[in-house]
Amino acid sequence: MGILLENEFYFNELELIADELCTFFFAGMKTVQVSTANTICYLDANPDVKKKLLEEILPVVEAVKDDIVEKLDYDTVMDFEYLHQVFYESLRIEPPAQLGTHATVS
């Protein structure tokens, strides 16, 4: 909000600022849950993609199954290239927040 208040474009445009804040709120609300649910639905509808994804993930998970919380680290998950591609594709197909504002300053 501070950035909007300091920006010349939004100067004395409280309605426009409120509109932008609503957009930020809706865009941030439950996006992880919606994006994950969408990805799972698309995987269910595309068994070949699901199979390829599991081929990437399962060997790593199997190797750490005795203590997955401690042994499966962030860097390892970030190396799952196909997982990222699948997730980003589901975001492309169906973004979790499809509303935006088209307000203009007069």
With helix as H, strand as E and coil as C, how does the chain read?
Answer: CHHHHHCHHHCCCHHHHHHHHHHHHHHHCCHHHHHHHHHHHHHHHCHHHHHHHHHHHHHHHHHCHHHHHHHCCHHHHHCCHHHHHHHHHHHHHCCCCCCCCCCCCC
Give pLDDT, residue 21. Answer: 80
Residues 26-53: pLDDT tens digits? 777 778 788 899 999 999 999 999 999 9
Give pLDDT, residue 102. Answer: 55
pTM, two decimals, is 0.63
Cβ contact 86:49 at 8 Å = yes
Structure tokens at 88: 């980003």
- Candidates 27, 49, 45; CA nearest to 37 is 45
Residues 20-29: pLDDT tens digits? 888 777 777 7
For the chain, the straight-line distance linking the first and the last C-alpha, in angstroms and rounded, comes to: 21
